[in-house]
Amino acid sequence: MTYDYIIIGAGSAGCVLANRLSANPNTRVLLLEAGPRDWHPFIHMPAGIAKLVSRKGVNWDYNTEPEPNLDGRRLWWPRGKVLGGSSSINAMCYIRGHARDYDEWAAMGATGWDWNAVLPYFKRSENNERGADDFHGSGGHLNVADHRYRNPLSQVLLDAAAQNGFPLNPDFNGAQMEGFGFYQLTQKNGQRWSTAAGYLNAARDRDNLTITTRAMVERVVIENGRAVAVEFQRKGERVRAEATREIVLSGGAINSPQLLLLSGVGGAEQLRQHGIAQKLELPGVGRNLHDHLDACTIFRCKQPVTYDKTNDVWIALQYALFRKGPGTSNIAEAGGFVRSSLAPDERPDIQFHFVPAILDDHGRNRLTGRGMTLHACHLQPRSRGHLELASADPATKPKLFANYLSDAEGFDRRVLVEAVRTSRRLFKSKAFDAYRGDEMFPGDNDDSDAAIGAFLRKKAETVYHPVGTCAMGTDANSVVDPTLRVHGIQALRVVDASVMPKLVSGNTNAPTVMIAERAAELMLAG
Ligand SMILES: Cc1cc2nc3c(=O)[nH]c(=O)nc-3n(C[C@H](O)[C@H](O)[C@H](O)COP(=O)(O)OP(=O)(O)OC[C@H]3O[C@@H](n4cnc5c(N)ncnc54)[C@H](O)[C@@H]3O)c2cc1C
């Protein structure tokens, strides 16, 4: 069991690395994934996301600790545990963030990750079905497509946005991010295009690439300051695999820092508390946890057009026979990026995702009737949390302290309050007159700061973008350097969403793929 490279986690980043690193037939690569193969049909049918959410077999199913500023609620954090990782269960919206996000990374110490430096990697990864231009690529492994089917209400949202003076935007990843429009999707031929579909399937027949599923890595073995092997559980047995060149952690923003801690790299006090032999004191591991907090404004819909009650047999048939119809929809078809009155710079600070259905508690709370939901999240939160081990047992989930809405000035709360007001305003526009029923959430028509603040405490949820827990940089709290090597340990890198020093202003899958594309190049350069 000796390889050149061992990659831990076959998610958004891990599948990219597996493809790129194994391109040379003389390089032996082992890809270890804790979850199963991505065989389940709901993974591939985009609208299957509605049913995937509650499938425990492909989900790590995390919950935060009680959140002090959210009425002590534990927020549910789904993460993909399957080939493709979270790109196999996500909502498929293709968004890169704002150019300034990356310039800010570089200014924070992530040298070489400014916008001009990262744009070529976004383009390299992409096959945009609209074709290549200054901002987009073609020929890459990540297929980016327009919807094959759109619910009529999604267009109504855009009409409402225009009535409120917001610009319409046909490409959020082009010259201008601001405005409302339809999302482009990581899909191909009406099917989800996870990184397993895009990158791994193109490489899986290579003799020099070994993909092992249901392999739960428990520890990276570090000897004399160098990562030399990994230990994992498979079918009840503990297995050891050795790496002659490098080991890469691509377990995502929760599992990569957990694995570093289990391997003896992290805050000294935490390691001591759990009886883990310290290999290196690195206090930043697990810190700087942050996420996009989101509020769902929901109105009842008077017309039978929503996705709440659908003819599932007909949808499945249309999908199976023609790859057409609502089965190809990611449900969150339209949305927008807006600068609130509090936005400190030119970047939009609120993102909207519109769902033509009632979506309460991630769709787990099945309410009767028909409705329409407007998600609004704050894109540049100032609140920071952390995660820590609950136990030295790798099977025990770490404790997640998201610490939402905890920034000292209450800035994060104020932006979200304004976001909810904007959602309401959009729903109350003329464009929605023929559809709008009663307001379900917040539900009291009280637009005061106090009432919306109380609603946020009671109902705000994640929009699934935790990052930052192995932050890239050069300061004392960073974990990896700008080449993604773990400070102070040889032959060990982290490549996934955890290395983002700061959240981008949008969804996080495409940025993670970009990170992995660039990381592969850095690794191959030696
Ligand atoms: C429900 C949901 C909806 C989302 N919607 C969107 C969207 O529409 N657009 C967008 O851009 N982003 C979206 N995201 C976010 C995006 O998908 C993630 O940010 C991105 O996939 C993170 O990639 P990653 O490589 O860091 O981690 P992941 O893709 O989560 O991959 C980590 C992999 O490592 C494996 N792993 C972890 N620990 C171990 C271990 N110990 N041993 C072996 N394997 C291990 C995991 O099982 C997993 O496969 C969504 C996320 C979720 C959960």
Closest residue by Cα to atom 45, ligand 1, is 9
Residue 102's alpha-carbon distances to 73, 365, 473, in angstroms, are 33, 37, 13
Pocket flag, ligand 1, residue 508 (CB < 6 Å): yes
Q: Distance, CA 85 to ligand 1 centroid (Å)?
A: 5
| CA 514 to centroid of ligand 1, rounded, Å | 14
Residue 441: both structure tokens together: 């959430």
* CA 87–ligand 1 middle distance (angstroms): 6
CA distance 285 to 468: 9
Beta bridge partners of 299: 372, 439
CA atoms within 13 A on the CB side of 273: 10
Nearest CA to ligand 1 atom 50: 90
Atom of ligand 1 nearest to the CA of 511: 11
Report, at the CATH architecture level, how domain 147-183+293-380+405-459 is classified.
2-Layer Sandwich (3.30)
Instruction: Assess contact for 192 and 44: CB atoms under 8 A.
Output: yes
Q: Is the CB of 15 under 6 A from ligand 1?
A: no
Note down pLDDT in tens along the chain; length 526 residues: 999 999 999 999 999 999 999 999 999 999 999 999 999 999 999 999 988 877 889 999 999 999 999 999 999 999 999 999 999 999 999 999 999 999 999 999 999 999 999 999 999 999 999 999 999 999 999 999 999 999 999 999 999 999 999 999 999 999 999 999 999 999 999 999 999 999 999 999 999 999 999 999 999 999 999 999 999 999 999 999 999 999 999 999 999 999 999 999 999 999 999 999 999 999 999 999 999 999 999 999 999 999 998 888 999 999 999 999 999 999 999 999 999 999 999 999 999 999 999 999 999 998 999 999 999 999 999 999 999 999 999 999 999 999 999 999 999 999 999 999 999 999 999 999 999 999 999 998 899 999 999 999 999 999 999 999 999 999 999 999 999 999 999 999 999 999 999 999 999 999 999 999 999 999 999 8
Distance from residue 358's CA to the centre of ligand 1 (Å):
25
> Domain residues of the chain, as ranges?
1-63+76-143+187-286+467-526, 147-183+293-380+405-459
Nearest to 1 by CA among 223, 205, 231: 231
Q: Please confirm whether the linkage preceding 442 is cis (ω < 30° from 0).
A: yes
CATH architecture for segment(s) 1-63+76-143+187-286+467-526:
3-Layer(bba) Sandwich (3.50)
For the Cβ of 93 lying below 6 angstroms from any atom of ligand 1, the answer is yes
- As beta bridge partners, residue 209 has 29
The pair of structure tokens assigned to 283 is 């206090």
Which structure tokens are listed for 300?
């009842």
Bridge-based pairing state of the strands 334-338 and 265-266: unpaired
Question: Does the Cβ of 513 fall within 6 Å of ligand 1?
Answer: no
pLDDT at 315: 94
Q: How many whole angstroms from 32 Cα to the centroid of ligand 1?
A: 15
Look at residue 324 in the predicted model and tell me its pLDDT: 96
Q: Which pLDDT score is estimated for 100?
A: 98
With contact defined as beta carbons under 8 Å apart, do 287 and 469 qualify? Answer: yes
Which atom of ligand 1 is nearest to 498's Cα?
26
Would you say the CB of residue 38 lies under 6 angstroms from ligand 1?
no
Shortest-distance Cα residue to atom 41 of ligand 1: 217
Alpha carbons 494 and 110: distance in angstroms, whole number: 14
Ligand 1 centroid – CA 89 distance (Å):
8
Q: From the CB of 462, is ligand 1 less than 6 Å away?
A: no
Q: CB under 8 Å to 20, separation ≥6 — which residues?
A: 516, 517, 520, 521, 524
Which is it for strands 280-281 and 334-338: parallel, antiparallel or unpaired? unpaired
Distance of CA 207 to the CA centre of its chain: 31
* Verdict on whether the full-model pTM lies above 0.85: yes
pLDDT at 53: 76
- Calculate the dihedral angle through the C-alpha atoms of 436, 440, 442, 447, rounding to the nearest 10 degrees: 40
Q: Look at the alpha carbons of 204, 136, 93, 170 in this order and tell me if their dihedral is positive or negative.
A: negative
pLDDT given at position 161 = 98
Residues with active-site annotation: 465
- At what angle are helices 411-427 and 152-163 packed, to 10 degrees? 110
Mutate to test the pocket of ligand 1, among 294, 329, 463, 464 (most ligand atoms within 8 A of CB): 464
Which residue's CA is the closest to the ligand 1 atom numbered 21?
Answer: 86
Q: 105: helix, coil or strand?
A: helix
